[in-house]
Each structure stands twice: as C-alpha cells, then as structure tokens.
Structure 1
Amino acid sequence: MRILISALLGAILMLGVSCEKSNNDTSDAIDRKFVSMKLDNRIYLSEKPQATIYTPNLVDEDPDNDYLTMEILATTYSGDNITFKLATDQPSFKPGVYYGNTTGNSMTMYLLSQSGATIVSDPTSSGFSITITKITSVYMEGTFSGTLTDPTGGGTKTVRDGSFRSFVKWVQK
C-alpha cells in the first residue's frame, strides 16, 4: 500500500512539474529596440535607437520652440546615422501619420558607408511619411517609407519597409 501511495504521489508531482508554463522567449522579440529599413536594395539595421521628446518652451519669446518635438537617433552597424524629427501642436504625440512636408517632420541619413553622403526627406513633397502605430509615455513603435533626396544633386533613394521600436525619454526645454 505504501508503494502504491508513493508511486501516486510521485506521478502527481511529476505531472505538476512537467505541466509548468514554459517561457517562450517571445518577450525578447517584443523588447527588442531597433530601426530597420530598405534603402533602394540595401538593408539598414540599428539596435537601441534613442528617442527623445522635448516639451514646448512657452515662457521665452521664440515661437519656433512652442511645439512638442521628437527626435529619434539611430546608428547602423556600418556607422550610418539615421535621424527622424517630428513635431505636433497637440499636447502629446498620438498614433497616426506624420508627413515629411509638415514643418518639423523629417528624416536625415548620413551614409558613412557610402562616402559620407547625406540624404534627406524633401520638405516640399509629401513623398515621405512616418506612422506612429503605438506610443506610451515610455515606449513607441511605428513605420516609415518614402523618398529621400541628395541635396547636392545626387538623385533620390527610396525607403521601403521601414520600422522602428524605441524607448522614449522626455526632456524639458
């Protein structure tokens, strides 16, 4: 009888341990902060971008800093720098599309891997946009796409499949 009870308790204990919830490491994929995109046919990837939201400064006489602004900085593995700038006249950034032809919204890439060329979004064209899909006080993610131009006359480059995820830091002006 003791052997039977010991065997039953052992079996229950083994079933309890084997049915324990497994850890799938999917949280690592969600926690990963990055900027990735295709520029023409080349893929660019940056880990751990820095996103900073600057609060408006309403007490000085400069009307250019009376808006909530955001800057996202990223550096790729090959040393290329990616910069996004966004601005809004709302009390906070909200999910939605931010077009490059709106004042304060832009993307700039310094291509160290391509002889130091700089390409920018055209402020006169609606051909570039950044979409914020999710934003909280500490975290944001979104997508971007469009056309970047070389201001020295080097032509245009197409950004496709751009996406980002970053922590957000708030800074008062």
Structure 2
Amino acid sequence: MRLYLSAILSAVLFFSVSCEKTETKTDADDRKFISMKLDNKIYLSENPKATAYLPKLDDSNPDNDYPVMEITGTTYTGDYITFKLAVPELPFHTGAYYSSETGNSMNIYLPSSNGETLNTGTSAGFVINITRINSQFVEGTFSGSLQDVSGSSSSRVVKDGTFRAVLKYQEAQ
C-alpha cells in the first residue's frame, strides 16, 4: 500500500511540475525605445525615460496639482521627443490620451532638420494610447498631426509611433 501511495504522489508531483507555465522573456521584451514615422522618415530613440510626477498640493503652484507623466527620448541624430500625459488622479491607466485634453501633448525638436519644433498645439487629431502599464514600465502607441511652430506653421503627420520605457515616480518640482 505504501508503495502504491508513493507512486501516486510521485506521479502527481511530476505532472504538476512539468505542466508549470513559464514565460521566457525575449530581447524584444527588454528593449526600451520610441519609434515613429514623421512624414515617412523613421525616427528612433533608444532607452527613453518615463517619469510620473506625483501631485504637490502644499505649494502655491497650480501647475503641479495633478499627476503628469513625461516620456522623453533622444534620437541618434540629436532630435528630442517628449510626450506629456495628465490625469486628474493616480493611477495612470491603459487607454487613449487625446492632445485636445488639458495636459496631454507631444513635442519634437529637430536640430537635424534646421531646428524645427513640432507640437500638438490645438490639434484634436493626435492621440497617445497606453497599451500596458505597471509600476515599472509603460508601453503604447501614438499617431496624428503635429504643427510646425518654428516658422512655417505646416502640419506634419506622425504614423506608426510606438514606445516602451522604464517608469519611475517622483514628486513634482
């Protein structure tokens, strides 16, 4: 009887261990980046930073009374990419953040293109989607129109924008 019971327990243990689900991370999961097409030219920033600024209610500055997430990166050619997302209260959630809502924007400074500065301005057609977020990283997509605010006032189209960045939390300044 003992031998029979030992065999059954061994079989249960074997199957429970062998059926355990394991997730293996790939290099693609570890890669942090901002990537996009701006007028069909590809821009890539490796290792961008994402900082969620916590509200600071004990001062007289009304601009830091709500949580803001800032995602920043620099391309190999020295171009700067910045997103800002705002929410009435923590936490940030997955979903769409439209540039027409207060605090949400994208800015690009292009020293590689004669110092052009592009931003969402009053554009209602720019959206940043957070597809995954936890206490350590944020990931998403973005697309829409940006305005050239450095002179020509022309509209530029951003397509196929994606990002993944390490997320840290910090008190607002």
Q: Give your verdict on TM over 0.5.
A: yes
Q: Does structure 1 retain, via aligned residues, the 8 Å contact 2:51–2:167?
A: yes
Give the 5 Å matches for 1:83-102. Answer: 83-102=82-101
Report the Cα distance in structure 2 between the residues aligned to 1:26 and 1:113, rounded to whole angstroms. 35
Q: Which residue of 2 aligns with 1:71?
A: 70
The answer to whether structure 1 residue 166 and structure 2 residue 170 are counterparts is no
Q: Structure 1 vs Structure 2: percent identity of aligned residues?
A: 54
Cα deviation, 1:28-68, whole Å, max 9, x if unaligned, reads 11100000000011000010001111000011222221100
Two-structure CA RMSD over aligned residues (Å): 1.2
Higher alpha-carbon deviation: 35-44 or 25-34? 25-34
**TM-score when normalising by structure 1:** 0.82
**TM-score when normalising by structure 2:** 0.82
- Aligned structure 1 segments of 4 or more residues deviating by more than 4 angstroms: none
Report the Cα distance in structure 2 between the residues aligned to 1:161 and 1:41, rounded to whole angstroms. 10
Report the Cα distance in structure 1 between the residues aligned to 2:99 and 2:137, rounded to whole angstroms. 22
Give the 5 Å matches for 1:11-160. Answer: 27-122=26-121, 124-151=122-149, 152-160=151-159
Q: For residue 154 of structure 1, report the CA deviation from its aligned partner.
A: 3.8
Q: For residue 90 of structure 1, report the CA deviation from its aligned partner.
A: 2.4
Q: Which runs of 5+ in 1 are unaligned?
A: 1-24
Q: Which residue of 2 aligns with 1:20?
A: none
AA paired with 2:86?
Answer: A
State the aligned residue count. 148
Report the Cα distance in structure 2 between the residues aligned to 1:125 and 1:36, rounded to whole angstroms. 21
What secondary structure sits across from 2:26 in the alignment?
helix
What secondary structure sits across from 1:92 in the alignment?
coil
Cα deviation, 1:64-85, whole Å, max 9, x if unaligned, reads 2110001111001111000101
